[in-house]
A and B are shown apart, each in its own frame.
Chain A
Amino acid sequence: MSSRVFNIAFNTFREAVRDRVLYNLVAFALLMTGAAILVGQISIDIERLVVVNLGLTAVSLFGMVIAIFIGIGLVSKEIEKRTLYTVLSRPVRRWEFIVGKFFGLAGTLIVNSVCMAVGVFAALFYVSRHFQSADGWVLVGLYFIILQFLIVTSLTLLFSSFSSPLLSAVFAFSLFVIGSFSEDLRGFASMTRGISKWLATAAAYLVPNFSALNVISSVAHQNSVSGQLIVYNTAYALFYATMALSGAVLIFERRNLK
């Protein structure tokens, strides 16, 4: 089982790399180089803050775009072109295919993020001329971004298992935006009453809580991140991604591929 999942995952990663997905790193490198030079000239004492904010936000946005736009085609393209038959005529279970695709895209995003992190630290070193112990929290910020990618990738796979690529992209992007404001949604739920309170609370808990996973501003200000939050966020992201992936598998298992 695991070898088939690994093979599909590795192939998904290889396909993404050969389709020049990682070329976004060039754009990111240019952005970070430009930002580092510019920030050094116009900012006084907040160079580090600007570089970390800009760098991690760029990592998040670039990754989200890749997760959504690659993710929507992972299953739907294979169904549309019927390339799936060549794979599913092997002793490959449908769930292995979905899980393999998930890990393949997640791996691509992780490699992409790690390369970008190197760029962020290079820019940080350029503007500060030295590293501080608080810079380690940037890695935690990056880790949380990767957790967000896992959730978005699983949601994109879920949507693409039953809808068109365009709708999948719209659904996934909408959930990303709503999830980024989930704390506000919870605040709104606490202020309302009756059925709207019930609906707002349900929505607040159903959408992925991306705001809890966003510590970019905090780590840019050199604030520490509690170990408890790291554990909670890890458990939450893994649980959410597993649920979404299970949904994708359940739908895909029942889908008529004729």
Chain B
Amino acid sequence: MAAIEIQGLEKTYSVGFWRKKPKLALRPLNLKVEDGEILEYYGRLSGVDSKTVSRKASEMLERVGLKDSANVQLRKFSKGMLQRVGIAQAILHGPRVVFFDEPMSGLDPMGRREVRDLMVELKREGKTVFFSTHILSDAEALCDRVAIVHKGELQGVGAVAELTSSVGSRVELIWRGTIVPAALQGLGAECHVTGDTARALIPESSQDAALDALRRERLHLVSVMPVRTSLEDYFVQKLRPAQTMAGSRA
């Protein structure tokens, strides 16, 4: 259905698109940014009339923070600046749906922040933003709905809370000493000893049994903290069985 909408002329008008590798995706790189050449080109291709395209290009440059850039050709821009130009061209014609392919790839922390803020702004404006990323924390921070795709196959789709709730909750136990009770291993705990402190991550359901084991050994408990389940946990849990099977096959 989405493909039909994109291919259809009227529907296409409301779609914005930006892919990674900005040095390759923007042509010609010898167009200038300052006088709006590149944005006007893509704006006109998107059906923006010539009377308003200059004004919109100027607005977009301001929006992505390139208004004060020197009158230089695109080929002289940094990756972060190109990324911003790419995003500007994707949203110049006011699309209702925007596709970004790894929009924060290769950016420095400030660049990532700027792009992330821009995507939040688009969301607030009521636009639907699709973006692909390998950084799951970005997806978790920005997305209402997430689809996990591995090797071309959909592993799961839904709201972040829905997906992460399917992963069993875990609890972190910290105690003094370097002794790790053998009973904890049987509870499926992941134990680590750092200096004179030991730490174990255990399923929430095993919390009481784990605490009993620590008491039996007379260990000094420091803290018991529930661990927030992240999208990464969901991803790892989803893929682990497949990888284990692949490993056993190998």
Is there an interface contact between A85 and B19, defined as CB atoms closer than 8 Å?
A: yes
- A86 near B41: Cβ-Cβ < 8 Å: no
**Chain B residues with CB below 8 A from A15, complex form:** 27-28, 30
10 smallest A-B Cβ distances: which pairs? A89-B17, A15-B28, A18-B30, A91-B12, A90-B45, A83-B27, A7-B44, A81-B24, A90-B46, A91-B9
Task: Check if A14 sits within 8 Å of B31, measured CB to CB.
Answer: yes
In the complex, what's the smallest C-beta–C-beta distance from B82 to chain A, in angstroms? 12
B residues less than 8 Å from A82 (CB atoms): 19, 24-25
**Does the CB pair A86–B44 fall under 8 Å?**
no
Interface residues of B in 10-26 (CB under 8 A from A): 12-13, 15-19, 24-26
Of chain A, the residue at the smallest CB distance from B93 is A90
The residue from A11, A85, A91, A92 contacting B25, defined by CB atoms under 8 A apart: A85
B: residues with CB less than 8 A from A are 6, 9, 12-13, 15-19, 24-28, 30-31, 41-42, 44-47, 50, 73, 86, 89, 99
| Chain B residues near A92 (CB-CB < 8 A) | 45
Known: A81-B24, A83-B27, A91-B45. 10 other contacts (CB 8 A): A3-B44, A3-B50, A7-B41, A8-B45, A15-B30, A19-B28, A86-B19, A86-B42, A86-B89, A89-B99
The answer on a CB contact under 8 Å between B27 and A86 is yes
Q: Is A4 an interface residue (CB 8 A)?
A: yes
Inter-chain CA distance A76–B9, complex, in Å, is 25
B34 to chain A, nearest CB (A): 15
Q: A91-B46, A91-B47 are in contact. Are A85 and B17 (CB under 8 A)?
A: yes
Q: How far is the CA of A242 from the CA of B13 in the complex (A)?
A: 29
Partner of A4, one of B18, B28, B45, B73: B45
Interfacial chain B residues near A91, Cβ < 8 Å:
9, 12-13, 45-47
Q: Indicate whether A167 reaches chain B with its CB closer than 8 angstroms.
A: no
In the assembled complex, the CB of A99 is this many whole angstroms from the nearest CB of chain B, namely 14
**A78 on interface, CB distance cutoff 8 Å:** yes
- Nearest Cβ on chain A to B54's Cβ, whole angstroms: 14
B30 touches A19 (CB 8 A): yes
Interface footprint category on A = 20 to 34
Closest Cβ of chain A to B21, distance in Å, is 8
B165 CB to nearest chain A CB (Å): 35
Contact B31 A87 (CB under 8 A): no
> What distance in Å separates the Cβ of A160 from its nearest Cβ neighbour in chain B?
16
Q: How far is the CA of A92 from the CA of B17 in the complex (A)?
A: 13
Distance (Å) between the CB of B13 and the closest chain A CB?
5
Question: What would 22 A/B residue contacts be, using CB atoms closer than 8 Å?
Answer: A3-B50, A4-B44, A7-B41, A7-B44, A11-B28, A14-B28, A18-B73, A19-B30, A81-B24, A81-B27, A82-B19, A82-B24, A83-B27, A85-B19, A86-B17, A87-B45, A89-B6, A89-B16, A89-B17, A90-B12, A91-B45, A91-B47
Shortest beta-carbon distance, A129 to chain B, in Å? 42
CB distance from B95 to the nearest CB of A (A): 10
Shortest CB–CB separation between residue B140 and chain A, in angstroms? 27
Residue of B nearest to A78 (CB): B27
Cβ contact of A7, chosen from B17, B45, B73, cutoff 8 A:
B45
Complex CA gap A211/B17 in Å reads: 47
Chain B residues, CB < 8 A from A3: 44, 50
Cβ-defined contact, B15 with A86, below 8 A: no
Partner among B9, B17, B41, B86 whose Cβ is within 8 Å of the Cβ of A11:
B41
Closest chain A CB from B81 CB (angstroms): 17
CB 8 Å contact bits of A36-49 with B (1 = contact, 0 = none): 00000000000000
- In the bound complex, what is the Cα–Cα distance between A85 and B22 (angstroms)? 12
- Is B15 a contact partner of A18 (Cβ separation < 8 A)? no
